Amino acid sequence: MTVTPPRASAASPVQAFLQELLERFKPLRDGAVATYIPELAKVDADGFGIVIATVDGQVYEVGDSRLPFTIQSVSKPLAYGVALEDRGPERVAQAVGVEPSGEAFNSISLEPGTGRPLNPMINAGAIAVAGLIGGDTPAARLERLIGALSAYAGRELAVDEAVFASERDTGHRNRAIGHLLRNYGIVDGDPEPALELYFRQCAVQVSCRDLALMAATLAGGGVNPISGERAVSAATVPSILSVMTTCGIYDFTGEWVYRVGLPAKSGVGGGIMAVLPGQLGIGVYSPRLDPRGNSVRGVAVCAALSAELGLHFLRPPRVALATVRAHYTLAEVRSRRRRPPAEAALLAAHGGAAQVLELQGDLRFATLEPVLRQVAHSAAGRECLLLDFKRVNHADEAATRLLARLIDDCAARGEQVVLTRVKRGELLAGLGQEVDPRHARAYGFQSQLDLGIEACERALLARHGGSHAPARLASLAEHRLCAGASADELTLLEAALQRRSLSAGQVLMRRGEPSEALVLLMRGELSVVVPLAQGGTRRLATLSAGMALGESALLAGGRRSADVVADTEVEALALTPAAFAQIRRDCPPLAICLLHNLLATSAEAVERLTAEVAALEA
């Protein structure tokens, strides 16, 4: 007995749901395959496929999802987008309107007086649009159009020459429309090239899967979710979806929006593509058509999908995800820079004046508005505001503008604003132009949250008493680890220590090496860093003169857990386990003093980390 392996995603409830839907609507055999284009009459009337593609590139397909058929009118909104990009909205608006006609796809609905087709979804409008595709020659225009359709599908598409020839030879009604358009000056000169291009455009071979990906491309703002290629600019997408919403299903559009509620386009080849903006695309294929030229099963399946998966576009998800993912102040969370006691005390006293908001999700009016509210309500006493964008992938123009206003408001109150982990490129690209030039110095960017927090610490310290970190210690007596030691003990210790000098950039210790000494930093700065999986490094700590590191050396068999690199010229003193053992024998009180001070610093660190964890969990 052979066991057939389950399909890759058979375990998915979504896949199972689509399969069930396919079975449910298979018996629906109403309608008839289009025959007015002779070649279309040859298709298998029973073909049936359903595909859902999400904006993050997950594809669920059942039935004849890869069976080729001609795209027909489903191409119209995409061609309209090409014309908008090639000629600009004004030029396109001279040739075609955006008013639903409420009439059949092949109706001759021209605006009285101007002769302008009412919309680009009826044939008259689509032929006018074909006349606007960019390119110097018919071949260039065809390539431009097929190239765009291919980018939507994420694969190279081609024309079904037999269907093309069949429609060209029998498309007298469309030809008549072409001549009417010429009569009104909507098409320049001979309408035949525009008609040829239109017939070829309609004869492009696609699969149901292609339609779902085209729809998902529109849902995702113009980028194919699998190839990552941009098929159309984000700015053009709403124009395309608008005409799909109001005119996509011809004289059934009102009913469609009411019942299904998805911008969509049908074609006489049997395909329907439907878009749920921001979420997913649907492709359905079944060539039996109702009298209006829409796939019977296609309409039924879309209605069922919408009802049962809750997809009606006027029932959008509420903005449920809180944009502020974490909110804390510098009283609770500190940068990785260790602070000498005087600075630590200043930050403990004033840390509450620096607020950190970690944001998440896409920023637009509805998601940003609660953030603006929260920032305004907590403005009293604030001196520094940090906004972290690690989990923000997109901010629309409105959000960027509102953020600029927020920065202006903060700056006007005398606050410093720090923006961290803003993805280079698109995100907040327009911010610089939007912020009042007088406030240019009131805000800045940092590549890491930790560095942003340190920038806030610097701002607070500058306002409240300045930096207290000495660049170098004059003697061992000033070192924290030696607090409480007598002069004799210090002499003994000094003799036991080994001097280390490093220039900036030099590595003091490497991850994985055995820990061979406790290091007392006397001059300059050191950073403890670990490599990140995605490249680059993250710092765990930055230490300055008077601090110590590598205490694990005093425990048997320790290994370095991170690299230690000199940020500046560094002078340090090293205490090896052997030297420490000697001190324990020769001068136990000194050993106890050192251990006591080490314990005090680690207790402080534990306390700080505990407070941080509590703040981040709150």
**The only residue of 85, 167, 408, 454 in contact with ligand GLN, by rule CB under 6 A:** 167
What CA–CA distances, in Å, run from 298 to 49, 149, 287, 293, 510? 9, 21, 9, 11, 64
Identify which of 553, 552, 510 has the alpha carbon closest to the alpha carbon of residue 529.
Answer: 510
Residue type at 278 in one-letter notation: G
Active-site entry in 60, 80, 152, 198: 198
3-state secondary structure of 16: helix
Active-site entry in 260, 268, 275, 299: 268
CA–centroid distance for 399 within its chain: 15
Identify whether the C-beta of residue 435 lies closer than 8 Å to the C-beta of residue 443. Answer: yes
Q: Which of residues 59-88 bind ligand GLN (CB under 6 A)?
A: 72-73
**The only residue of 65, 166, 174, 527 in contact with ligand GLN, by rule CB under 6 A:** 174
Q: Which is nearer to ligand GLN, 209 or 265 (CB)?
A: 265
3-state secondary structure of 393: coil
Active-site entry in 60, 80, 250, 285: 250
Q: Does 250 qualify as catalytic in the annotation?
A: yes
Integer Rg of the chain from CA: 34
For residue 166, state whether it binds ligand GLN (rule: CB under 6 A): no
Rounded to a whole number of angstroms, the minimum distance from the CB of residue 76 to ligand GLN is 8
Residues found in the chain: 618
Bridge partners (DSSP) listed for residue 519:
549, 574
**The only residue of 268, 302, 305, 455 in contact with ligand GLN, by rule CB under 6 A:** 268
For residue 117, state whether it binds ligand GLN (rule: CB under 6 A): no
**The only residue of 123, 236, 253, 446 in contact with ligand GLN, by rule CB under 6 A:** 123
Q: Does 268 qualify as catalytic in the annotation?
A: yes
Rounded to a whole number of angstroms, the minimum distance from the CB of residue 299 to ligand GLN is 14
Bridge partners (DSSP) listed for residue 445:
419
Residue nearest to ligand GLN (CB): 73
Residue type at 12 in one-letter notation: S
Q: Which is nearer to ligand GLN, 32 or 319 (CB)?
A: 32
Q: Which of residues 540-579 bind ligand GLN (CB under 6 A)?
A: none
Q: Which is nearer to ligand GLN, 243 or 593 (CB)?
A: 243
* 295: its two tokens: 């796939």
For residue 39, state whether it binds ligand GLN (rule: CB under 6 A): no
Enumerate residues 6+ apart whose C-beta is below 8 A from 445. Answer: 418, 419, 420, 422
Q: Which is nearer to ligand GLN, 37 or 570 (CB)?
A: 37
Q: Does 565 qualify as catalytic in the annotation?
A: no
| Size, binding site for ligand GLN by CB under 6 A | 11
**The only residue of 191, 222, 287, 293 in contact with ligand GLN, by rule CB under 6 A:** 293
Active-site entry in 33, 60, 65, 76: 76
What are φ and ψ of residue 284, in 5° steps? -130, 140
Distance (Å, whole) CA 265 – CA 501 = 73
For residue 105, state whether it binds ligand GLN (rule: CB under 6 A): yes
Identify which of 331, 341, 332 has the alpha carbon closest to the alpha carbon of residue 597.
Answer: 341
Largest CA distance in the chain: 110
| Burial classification of residue 174, based on how many CB atoms lie within 10 Å of its CB (0-12 exposed, 13-18 middle, 19 or more buried) | buried
Rounded to a whole number of angstroms, the minimum distance from the CB of residue 144 to ligand GLN is 19
Which parts of this chain interact with ligand GLN (CB under 6 A)? 72-73, 105-106, 123, 167, 174, 202, 267-268, 293
Q: Which residues belong to the active site?
A: 73, 76, 198, 250, 268
